[in-house]
Homo-oligomer: A and B are copies of this chain.
Amino acid sequence: MGEEIFGEKLHEECGVFGVFRREDDLDVVAAAYYGLYALQHRGQESCGIAVNDDGIFYKRRELGLVSEVFTKSALEAMPRGNMCVAHCRYATTGTPVRANAQPFVIRHIKGPMALAHNGNLTNSAELRDEFELSGAIFHSTSDTEVIAYAITRERLHAGSIESAVEQAMPKLKGAYSLVLMSPRKLIAVRDPQGFRPLCIGKIGESDVIASESCAIVAAGGEFVRDVEPGEIVVFDEDGCRSIRTHCGQKGGLCVFEYVYIARPDSIVDGASVHRARRRAGALLALEHPVQADVVIGAPDSGLDAALGYAQQSGIPYGIGFLKNKYIGRTFIQPDQRLRENTVHIKLNPIADTVKGKRVVLVDDSIVRGTTSKQVVQMLRDAGATEVHFLSSAPEFLYPCYFGVDIDSRKDLIAANHTLEEMREILGVDSLGFLSVEGVKKIAEGCTCGLCTGCFTGEYPIPKPARTEKSKFEHKISENAND
């Protein structure tokens, strides 16, 4: 409930983007800049662009939002180039330091390579050990450096960079939607389950790769198609070709992309995200009918589902909150200079909508529940006579190993309480979650199998044997000699 406002939200991992220029007047850096703006919701910790100017690679990557990292002077300082790779990130594996910002640019025996990655490997610790044993050194704690080693090691023997990718894929377990740039090629790679979205499009004659279709549109282009799970798509001077060796496995697109992560105006694997959210609301209305006077959504993530609920139930839709759009990351928390809870600064109920009404409040999900409780109290203070809380996602009960940061169960309210306990904690008159069966039906037209592991504990591929967050940060072990 309003979770995204208060830092309780689930942290989606990253957005990736790439452009291969085929018309001289396209500015690939500008296209990436607009693309990153459209992908900013996928990661606000750091961002970067690497440009390829006839084989010379130039990069800029920093902690910060696109608007902070790519200032006017920073953009002007970048060469125009004929290809680029871009990335925005919220850390999952690896601590939030600049060394982990992407794109990665490295040099190997065949020249420079840039890499942008969305996802999470489940065997990165094992791979890291294996590469170190044959002399590798690591500069970061990111999975992306592991992927870079996996590909470049294959390239010592493979005949081309795309063959190296093809041969490296069986070693890489887990989620990876990649954009890779070599001196002459731009390559899109999606893991065989397709955990994270990836699609391709056109800006005029030029080719573009993006995590979501909204970024292609923002860059002035048109969506063409999704990259198939397991597919490798290569763009070079000869055009575009596809390697499908690893396609056809069991699909596992993260259903939470539809519920919360992706932008409502995106089309992911054939299904409209906005429509999926309205369907979630409509299904919620069928599963959890309530006698009420108004349906409101938690801004902004619950609005679509609330509208779906209202339309299905026939209860009027209302605008329940004013969300302060000027609250940013520099907002100073109340504990520093003010005593009371200051939830009103970020989100204020519109009394006219809820006063004297029985209110249905819809949000995308409930994680810890602490904010939801405050928001419910705000509605009661504003005069709501009843508050019914409905979540368009099922209860979070299990960790995600594929890029969404919910691997600790101890904070998940649903993993530790019964429905009735949660209802009491939140202080609502009734509480309901969309069922797992329901959530599987929201993405009408989706061409890919779905992963619902965080709700069911059943994953498309095995869970990781080891998890390690940041190997640079270990203590001195007993038997070390150095």
| A residues apposed to B, CB below 8 Å | 25, 27, 29-31, 33-34, 37-38, 40-41, 54-57, 65-68, 70-72, 75, 105-113, 129, 131-139, 148-149, 152-153, 155-156, 159-161, 182-185, 214, 217-218, 220, 263-265, 267, 272, 274-275, 278, 300, 303-304, 307, 311, 316-319, 321-322, 324-328, 330-332, 334, 336-340, 342, 344-345, 348-353, 471-477, 480-482
CB-based contact B319/A352 at 8 Å: no
Q: Chain A binding site: helix, strand, loop or mixed by DSSP?
A: mixed
A-B residue pairs in contact (CB < 8 Å), sample of 11: A30-B334, A55-B476, A71-B330, A75-B337, A108-B138, A113-B482, A133-B156, A139-B139, A160-B482, A263-B322, A265-B348
Closest to A304 in B: B319
Would you call B326 and A66 a contact (CB within 8 A)?
yes
Q: List, in ascending order, chain B residues with CB within 8 A of A307's CB.
A: 317-319
**B472 close to A112 (CB less than 8 A):** yes
A254 to chain B, nearest CB (A): 20
- Of the residues B75, B474, B481, contact of A160 by C-beta under 8 Å: B481
Q: Is the CB of B330 within 8 A of A137?
A: no
Find out whether the CB atom of B156 lies under 8 angstroms from the CB atom of A148: no
Q: A348 with B476: in contact, given A29-B337, A135-B136, A326-B65 (CB under 8 Å)?
A: no
Return the chain B residue nearest A275 by Cβ: B352
Verify A137–B161 contact, CB threshold 8 A: no
Report Cα–Cα, A474/B112, bound state, in Å: 9
Is there contact, CB below 8 Å, between B134 and A108?
Answer: no
Q: Is the CB of A332 within 8 A of B75?
A: yes
Task: For the complex formed, measure the closest distance between the CB of A279 and the CB atoms of chain B, giving whole angstroms.
Answer: 10
Q: Can you add 11 more A-B contacts, CB < 8 Å, to A65-B326, A109-B129, A274-B353?
A: A27-B337, A34-B338, A37-B324, A37-B331, A38-B348, A75-B336, A111-B480, A111-B482, A134-B135, A218-B344, A220-B338
- Contacting residue for A38 out of B110, B133, B345, CB 8 A: B345
In the complex, are the beta carbons of A67 and B136 less than 8 A apart?
no
Q: Given A134-B135, A342-B220: A264 and B350 within 8 A (CB)?
A: yes
Contact at A218–B342, with CB atoms within 8 Å? Answer: yes
Q: How far is the CA of A322 from the CA of B272 in the complex (A)?
A: 13
A152 lies within 8 A of B138 (CB): no
Are B348 and A161 touching (Cβ within 8 A)?
Answer: no
Partner of A34, one of B106, B311, B342, B482: B342
Closest residue of chain B to A322 (Cβ to Cβ) is: B265
Bound form: Cα–Cα A129–B110 in Å? 10
Chain B nearest Cβ from A217, distance in angstroms: 5
Is B319 a contact partner of A264 (Cβ separation < 8 A)? yes
A214 touches B474 (CB 8 A): no
The complex places the Cα of A59 from the Cα of B330 at a distance, in Å, of 21
Determine the chain B residues whose CB is within 8 A of the CB of A72 once the complex forms.
330, 332, 336
Contact A135 B160 (CB under 8 A): no
Cα distance A321–B274 when bound, in Å?
10
CB pair A214–B326 under 8 Å, yes or no, is: no
> How many Å from the CB of A141 to the closest CB on chain B?
8
Contact between B111 and A135, CB atoms less than 8 A apart: no
Complex Cα spacing A27 to B327, Å: 20
A56 near B472 with CB under 8 A, answer yes
From residue A9, how far is it (CB to closest CB) to chain B in Å? 14
Residues of B within 8 A of A71 (CB): 330
Q: Is the CB of B345 within 8 A of A56?
A: no
**A361: shortest Cβ distance to chain B, in Å?**
16
How far is A422 from B40 in the complex, measured between Cα atoms in Å?
A: 36
Which of chain B's residues have a CB closer than 8 A to the CB of A350? 264-265, 272, 274
- Bound-state CA distance A262–B456 (Å) is 47
Instruction: Given A264-B319, A317-B307, A472-B56, check contact A110 B482 (CB 8 Å).
Output: yes
Minimum CB distance partner of A355 in chain B: B272
Q: Nearest residue in B to A341 (C-beta to C-beta)?
A: B220
Contact yes or no, B107 A471, CB < 8 A: yes
